[in-house]
Amino acid sequence: MQGKNKRFTSVPLVNESAWRRRGIVAWALLGMAGVFVVVIMALGSVSQAVELLAIGGIVAFICAPLTNKLETWKVPRALSALIALIVVLLILVGFIALIAQPLIDESLILLRNAPLYARQIQDMVQEAWITYDAIGNSAVRSTVNSIILQASNLGVSFAGEAFRWLSANALSNISTLGEHFMSFFLGLVLAYWLAKDYPVMVRELAVIAGPQRDDEVRLLLAILSRSVGGYMRSTIVTSIANGVLAYVGCLCIQNPYAGLIGTIVGVLHIIPVVGPVFSAGIALILSVLQSPMLGLWTLLVLVVAQNVTDNVLSPVVMASSVKVHPGLSLVGIMIGGALGGIVGTILAIPITAALRGVFVYYFEAHTGRQIVSYDGALFNSTPFHDADGNIHPAFDALDDDSFFESTRLVDKSEAVCVEADEKPEKTINIAEDIAKVFSKFSTPENIGDQQVSSTVDSEAENKSSLPKEK
């Protein structure tokens, strides 16, 4: 395969002391942790600026591939960026127009029926006490009844407060709503200029860094673009797809809160790992209040939608972002949520992916040892070598040999030949292992062996039961 930019030279294997290598790894890990904490704290403390930058950056990352594609078709870059921005806005407006009306209607119905649902929960619990008498201790029963009553009162009071807030504070929050609209508009303007001029900005930053550091600056920006930009684009696409699948599925089973459930599923899908769990719990509660069977069907619909999104769509769209181990994702989400709240939780995984790529580059560049592999855990990605067998930290960090060909961050006039290592036939796959185990018990040979063994055992038992001859 052909990559780009020969200045990201190969690194021959070098011999260093064990303590020096351990020191490099330790300091690299400490540096990554420190940068992660500083970035999350900074993002959480300047939320308004982050809102503007987040809107501009996300929209620019979404527009960048279409802008680059139009530029390759001889369309001027300024016009390409404008066309890409208009296309993204049309898709966004169409999606909002599709879900706005059912979302508002179903939310109002839910708020209106909140007291009724609270009474239903109380009646269900009381009926359970009377029918099954599950708890004989009167003290425990009174405590549980008190908790249920308080929860019901809390739900009723929440619904009342929501109605009062909508009626009394709507006018007072017009200014805040206007600020958000202004931030959104300015974010779109920023997105246009970023999508149009980011190749020039990168070249200027490389000039500022100097001839000795311009390669590293370009590489760091490339890693940031691939990890953060690719992850955000992929997350938005998969979130919309998951929400639409959940909405269509709930419509098919005639769930009265199909629009609300689809919106909740799509929005919470942005929060990795824990988002789908919370959305499934909320949808299950809303559906069980209608009927237990509807709750079961709704849960089945959400499981199918989540599996289709994760196993069919995600492998395709997530190919543009760096892989992150689930354990590393959980640690990043916990740290990001503790330091930056919701913003930190959403940005935790792309920042973790970027830090992972930076660590891979500097580790391989300074030690000459290749840490990425097909069967790795924390560093599972594609390893690259040149014709002489030397590793290429830049390609290992990006995990994509075609990225240099499609990006505008690197000069295409200089090239280097690299090839991805041949992927092994056997890969670690839990599903395949489980299927293999079950297949051992279901094959005709095993069934025949089991029948033969059972026949032999029965004959032995019959012989042992016969009376012995004297």
Q: Tell me if 43 is assigned to some domain.
A: yes
Cα–Cα distances in angstroms (integers) from residue 19 to residues 12, 31, 42, 255, 371, in the given order:
20, 18, 34, 62, 18
* The pLDDT of residue 464: 47
Distance CA 347, CA 43 (A): 9
> How far apart, in whole angstroms, are the C-alpha atoms of residue 256 and residue 23?
60
- Is 469 domain-assigned? no
Asked whether 258 and 247 are in contact (CB, 8 A), the reply is yes
Which residues, including other chains, have CB under 8 Å from residue 170's CB and lie 6 or more apart?
none
pLDDT of res. 297: 92
> What distance in Å separates the CA atoms of residue 390 and residue 392, rounded to the nearest whole number?
7
In a domain, 23, yes or no: no
Rg (CA), the chain: 29
At residue 2, the 3 state secondary structure works out as strand
Beta-bridge mates of residue 384: 420
As given in the structure block, the two tokens for residue 313 are 């769509």
- What's the confidence (pLDDT) of residue 292? 83
Domain of residue 386, residue span:
2-14+32-420
Q: Which of 431, 312, 352, 368 minimizes the C-alpha distance to 29? A: 352
Residue 148's identity, in one-letter code, is: I
DSSP letter string, 386-397: -TTS-B-HHHHH
How far apart CA 367 and CA 355 sit, in angstroms, is: 18
Both structure tokens of 9 = 């030279």
Residue 465 lies in a domain: no
DSSP per-residue string spanning 120-153: HHHHHHHHHHHHH-----HHHHHHHHHHHHHHHH
pLDDT on residue 1? 45
Per-residue model confidence (pLDDT) at position 456:
44
Q: Which of 55, 51, 48 is nearest to 192 (CA)?
A: 55
Q: Which residues of the chain have pLDDT under 50?
A: 1-6, 11-14, 134, 413-414, 427-431, 445-447, 450, 452, 456, 460-470
Q: Cα(441)–Cα(289) distance, rounded to whole angstroms?
A: 42
Is 262 contained in some domain? yes
- Confidence (pLDDT) at 363: 87
* Residue 253 domain-assigned (yes or no): yes
Q: Is residue 426 part of a domain?
A: no
The tally of domains found in the chain comes to: 1
**pTM exceeding the 0.85 threshold for the entire prediction:** no
> Which pLDDT score, from 0 to 100, does residue 274 have?
76
Residue 469 region by backbone torsions, left for phi larger than 0, else alpha for psi between -120 and 50, else beta: beta
For the stretch 284-305, pLDDT in tens is 888 887 888 888 999 999 999 9
* 68 sits in which H/E element: helix 47-72
Collapsing DSSP to helix, strand or coil, 3 comes out as strand
Q: How far apart are CA 134 and CA 148, in angstroms?
A: 16
Alpha helix stretches (DSSP H) within 269-384: 274-288, 292-308, 314-317, 326-367
pLDDT at 148: 61
Q: What is the pLDDT of residue 3?
A: 45
| Residues 21 and 363: beta-carbon distance below 8 Å | no
Residue 19 lies in a domain: no
In tens, the pLDDT along 168-210 reads 555 555 666 677 778 888 888 888 998 888 888 888 888 888 8
The sign of the CA dihedral 303, 304, 305, 311 is: positive
- Per DSSP, the three-state class of 92 is helix
Place of tokens 């779109």: 188
Give the Cα separation of 395 and 382 in Å (integer). 9
